[in-house]
Amino acid sequence: MLNSEGRKLRKGFVPSTRHVLIGLAFTAILLTASACAVRHTTTIAASQVPPPAREASTGELVDRVNTQSAAVRTLNATVDLAPTAGSIYSGVIKEYRDVKGFILVEKPAMIRMIGQAPVVRTNIFDMVSDGDEFRLYLPSKQKFIVGKTTFHRLAKNALESLRPQHILDALLLAPIDPARDVYYPQQDEGSAGQRFYILNILEAQPAGERGELTLKRRVWFDGATLDIVRVQFYGPQGSRLEDAGYSEYQDFDGVHYPTRIRVERPVEDYRLSITILKAAFNQPIDRDKFELKKPASAERVVLSERHEGEDAAPVEAGHGQ
């Protein structure tokens, strides 16, 4: 063994702590120098690289919308719900976990939706709409709320702003009429590099408003699969009324449909995530399933009238909203 000066050490010599530290430091310097000479390459897993976008014409995108729209006539689904209501008055957000739900839908505008609390499975809400009028029953508040689907106002409890037609708009994709609707395509790219096709759908303003076209909907398509992944709804003044997201498509006896749906209503300040657990499409549904009667103990609240002690403010209503 040699010492730090290169001289041979006598047999049985035990290096001191100082000698050991010097040797370790010298070794570390050599390793560091070697590492600096090596180029480091970060490899991205193939699963993280977005697939290339497919070529798609505007006509093909319109056909995609209309095919999905025509595929659904009725829906009977068992779902998991994750409603999140954020109070615009206090800034408090309350999330309801593990809510089981049941949804019935029949074209053109019939919907019933029930949400049940965890464990005990008592109803949190029960609501129906026929496209003209809606009814919403909140058992915990013993309120039976009735109103026209075109009437909107803000409530202290954002879940009181929950409307069945909001959910219907997300579940039933409205078709595009190439002879009547005005639309144009565009492309976008996500933060992870995935590409999207977008159809912007416009509508003419009523007579007396200079005949201007305003944005009504934006339909987003996954560039790789051409599945519809998002629909944004806009009001007459261009405000965003609703944002619906779609993912995890499955085939249900020939119906290609998303099993995860996210509904966001920025004006009413609530979000709702829907996970479809079981679904039957295009089966007959008895008409009485869409009837919701006021319980004798519930207070009837008509939203077209202002009630003493209620804070309310009108909000903008748009197409189908």
3-state secondary structure 223-260: CCCCCEEEEEEECCCCCEEEEEEEEEEEEECCEEEEEE
Residue 31 has pLDDT above 60, yes or no: no
Residue 11 has pLDDT above 60, yes or no: no
CB-based contact 164:101 (threshold 8 Å): no
Residue 318 has φ and ψ, to the nearest 5°, of -125, -165
Report the pLDDT value the prediction gives residue 123, as an integer from 0 to 100: 92
Of 73, 56, 63, 60, the residue nearest 252 (C-alpha): 73
Residue 15 has φ and ψ, to the nearest 5°, of -60, 145
Report the pLDDT value the prediction gives residue 263, as an integer from 0 to 100: 95
Residue 194 has φ and ψ, to the nearest 5°, of -70, 145
Provide, rounded to the nearest whole percent, the portion of the chain with pLDDT above 90. 54
Q: What is the pLDDT of residues 213-259, one digit of tens each?
A: 899 999 999 999 999 999 999 997 788 999 999 999 999 999 999 99
Q: What number does CATH give the domain 60-302?
A: 2.50.20.10
CB-based contact 246:230 (threshold 8 Å): yes
Paired tokens of 297: 């103990």
Cis preceding-peptide flag for 108 (omega within 30 of 0): yes
Paired tokens of 263: 């509904």
β pairing state of 110-116 and 93-95: unpaired
Radius of gyration of the chain (CA): 30
How far is Cα of residue 212 from the mean position of the Cα atoms in its chain? 30
The residue that leads in pLDDT, 118 or 285, is 285
How many Cα neighbours within 13 Å face the side chain of 57?
3
CA 24/CA 186 separation, integer angstroms: 61
Q: With a threshold of 0.85, does the pTM exceed it? A: no
